[in-house]
Amino acid sequence: MTAPIRYAEDYTPGQVFDVGSYAFTAEEIIAFSREWDPHPFHIDEDAAKQTMFGGLIASGWHTALVMMRMLHQGGFLSLETSIGSPGHEELKWLRPVRPGELLRGQVVVNHVKLSKSRPELGFVNCTATLTNPAGEVAYLLTSNAIIKTRGG
């Protein structure tokens, strides 16, 4: 799916984007975690049963990267206009993400600021969440995106 080209002026406070859904598989959780976050509860189903999680869970970093892809594929960010981020205000992994759980992604625009000193740039502050089937927020990110303006 090709995301629409979206400039800083196209975002408005309160705007909500549904960026799709995603279900992690046990195989991908294990493969990612073996490489990047090899805790037993991420890479070994039997060992994971003995932890406080009671089973295999996705790495929070894996979850964050999946959400990043959803932001692009779901139409929130445009590759043509998204320049990056100066940083995040809040990043929370509130619930374990389990294999097979269908997570729903949503982004809410908090505020938009067009730069006075660099009129080609805007800053879009937003909160992105992944919600599990029980309606619980599993992942929450409040961040700023640097987005080109139409004048840029």
Cβ neighbours of 10 (radius 10 Å): 18
Prediction pTM value: 0.93
- Spatial distance between the Cα atoms of 17 and 130, rounded to a whole number of angstroms: 12
Residue 53 forms part of a structural domain: no
pLDDT at residue 2 tops 80 = no
How much is the average pLDDT of 45-49? 96
pLDDT at residue 128 tops 90 = yes
Segments forming the whole domain that contains residue 80: 8-24+58-148
Residue 42 forms part of a structural domain: no
pLDDT at residue 152, as a whole number = 65
How much is the average pLDDT of 136-144? 98
Residue 1 forms part of a structural domain: no
* DSSP class per residue in 61-116: HHHHHHHHHHHHHTTSS-TTTEEEEEEEEEEEE-S---TT-EEEEEEEEEEEEE-S
What is the pLDDT of the chain when averaged over all its residues?
Answer: 96
Residue type, 53: F
Where residue 4 falls among pLDDT bands split at 50, 70, 90? confident
Residue 99 forms part of a structural domain: yes
pLDDT at residue 1 tops 80 = no
Where residue 70 falls among pLDDT bands split at 50, 70, 90? very high
Q: Give how far Cα 43 sits from Cα of 27, 30, 53, 127, Å.
A: 9, 5, 13, 30
Where residue 141 sits, what CATH number does that domain have? 3.10.129.10
How much is the average pLDDT of 6-11? 97
Q: How many domains does one find in the chain?
A: 1
Residue 132 forms part of a structural domain: yes
How much is the average pLDDT of 108-124? 96
Residue 41 forms part of a structural domain: no
pLDDT at residue 149, as a whole number = 97
Where residue 3 falls among pLDDT bands split at 50, 70, 90? low
